[in-house]
Structure 1
Amino acid sequence: MDHNIYLLATDPKNPCRDVIHSRDTRLKVKVFCLDKERFSPDSNELQLYGYADNKLLAFETIDVAAEDAIDLVNAIKWYANYINCPKMEILPEDPRPNQNIAM
């Protein structure tokens, strides 16, 4: 799905709160800067993580549909290029210590 076009909605009051929108699917992804804000993953959504210039980002879908989930990695790759971090490694779990312990 490399042909998809992505759009970015930004919050002028919070530079860490971007939302990636796919123009070609219903995929929407919230971006969180984990060094500046709290993040509690929603168990009904998908989360991926990545470092951008030593800052950990979380990416969480918004009302994800199964057919749109396949586009998630491409959307994050697009965002990584947009923020000038094209080599961002996309991580399946939160790399911070004690963040993946089941309660």
Structure 2
Amino acid sequence: MFGPRDLYRPGETVILNGLLRDADGKALPNQPIKLDVIKPDGQVLRSVVSQPENGLYHFTWPLDSNAATGMWHIRATRAITSIGCGISTSKILCQSAWR
């Protein structure tokens, strides 16, 4: 997973993209991916299933203006549970003010 930034402030919109590849870097067939947004306290805030467009997964969500600051995690797993386990985890930092 990748995005244009890894530092956000409350009220901003988080943008992430992803590509599904095998261990050799070859593209895998399109399939749904489940994304869990995990707050700094470890609670899952939201879970969504994302379908790729032309092999690219695109995910956005607006942080509330009162979102908790700290390290957030976005966990991606294959949405079809019989396929397997975790694919990737990405981190973003939510700060109340730029330093």
Greater Rg, structure 1 or structure 2?
Answer: 2
TM > 0.5: no
- TM-score, L = length of structure 2: 0.29
- TM-score, L = length of structure 1: 0.29
Higher strand share: 2
Higher helix share: 1
